[in-house]
Amino acid sequence: MELRRRWSFRVLLCLFFLAMVGPSLFSISPSDKVAPPFAKPLWLRRNLPPTIDLAISKNKGESSIAWTYSPPARLRLVGYIVATKPVSLLWIMPEQDLVLLLFPQGETTLEIDGRDMAFKEMLGASPFAQVPQVLFPEEGVYTLAFDHPEYIVKGDLALHIEGGRWGALGTDQRGRDVLLLFIEGVRVSLIVGISATLLATFLGLSFGLLSGYVGGWLDALIMRGVDVLLSIPILPILMVLAAFWGKGLWQLVLILSLFSWMGTARTVRAMTLTLRDSSYIEGLRGLGAPTHYILWRHLLPETLPLLLANIALGVPGAILSEAGISFLGLSDPRIISWGRMLHEAYAFGAFSQGAWWLLLPPGLGITLLCLVFLDLGKYLEERVDPLLKGDARL
């Protein structure tokens, strides 16, 4: 019950829920371009036009918008309709009406950019004219409509208006939704952090139990290997292995776990050495209990409380290592993580563009997730050793 009241536990549950359910709340994929590059969040610079879609269909013959901004940057008209008779697509402005397109009878698929010369000619505009300025000459109510929607059998049509704002966190250098990328990063960070720490804990537990209980040459061999691995600078080795072994998600998990188990092995070995010569372990050996039985049924349960704390404290290290490798560009570019977001923001000039909404969300996400697991690790350590509590009397 005390764990449920901790802020870190509640935040962790929210992050797990966000990682599992969050992407399904969007109708787009993380790789889709939804707005111009470096579009600002909707709540920032409200004088800039937003990026929106005016959609019409058989059941919705018109769509209107109250426009109070300057002309947008670009326009695109995309869709697919099937008409029983010729149908005109109208653009109703405050002062006049324009015929954007004439759809013949039958099936029509179109994708027209506002920069197309044929589209400008159809509007009666100069070849050097800017279509957004032609269609949005002033503030007012604008309507996209079919003149005879009853002739439409099926299909949808959308006028994509690209402005300078989009969504809660804007867009990145490729025009992708930063909020959706941030949610995808939650999932990757949790997978890498927890999986790498669990695998490293398993390796450290196995080697630590064997080293401490068996002793002799096996203990010396394992500990010398631990000393060698601890003396190697981890980041350069991770960079080399990530570059030559592979950049997949699970390759990264395996690389991180192979260089993170040594501290757990030393801790478990120290605990095993203190328990190996205790009276009840001596009694079990005297009764002929096999080694695997003693390790599994008696020594392993004694180490579990401390292992839980080590797991909670080890996850932030794995998350930071993954973020560092991704920031250096050594991760799979197809995997969206917070470190990868920071790398691409830096590489494509987010600093010079002043696009802080690309930098703060992943940076704060990494910080928050590490603080959550550090607080949980502190709680578990206090449960294992009550003397660590602040009100303890030494």
Model confidence pLDDT, tens digit, residues 64-119: 999 999 899 889 999 888 888 898 889 999 888 888 888 888 898 888 888 888 88
Report d(CA 364, CA 348) in Å as an integer.
Answer: 20
Angle, helices 249-258/234-245, rounded to nearest 10 degrees: 150
The dihedral over CA atoms of 216, 221, 226, 232, expressed in degrees to the nearest 10, equals 150
Look at residue 332 in the predicted model and tell me its pLDDT.
Answer: 79
Report d(CA 75, CA 370) in Å as an integer.
Answer: 43
Per-residue DSSP letter, 387: G
Order of strands across the sheet with 74-83? 52-57, 152-162, 74-83, 106-113
> Do 37 and 173 form a contact (C-beta atoms < 8 A)?
yes
Look at residue 307 in the predicted model and tell me its pLDDT.
Answer: 81
Residue in the block written with tokens 């490798």: 325
Report d(CA 28, CA 38) in Å as an integer.
Answer: 18
Report d(CA 336, CA 181) in Å as an integer.
Answer: 7
Look at residue 394 in the predicted model and tell me its pLDDT.
Answer: 42
Contacts of 323 (CB under 8 A, 6+ apart): 189, 337, 338, 339, 342, 366
Look at residue 393 in the predicted model and tell me its pLDDT.
Answer: 45
Look at residue 367 in the predicted model and tell me its pLDDT.
Answer: 93
Look at residue 1 in the predicted model and tell me its pLDDT.
Answer: 61
Encoded amino acid at 347, one letter: A
Contacts of 32 (CB under 8 A, 6+ apart): 176, 177
Does the pTM surpass 0.75? The reply is: yes
For the chain, how far is it from start to end, CA to CA, in angstroms? 27
Report d(CA 376, CA 312) in Å as an integer.
Answer: 6
Stretches in the chain below the pLDDT threshold 50: 392-394
Look at residue 272 in the predicted model and tell me its pLDDT.
Answer: 82
DSSP string spanning 282-302?
A: HHHHHTT--HHHHIIIIIHHH
Nearest one of 176, 183, 161 to 37, comparing CA atoms? 176
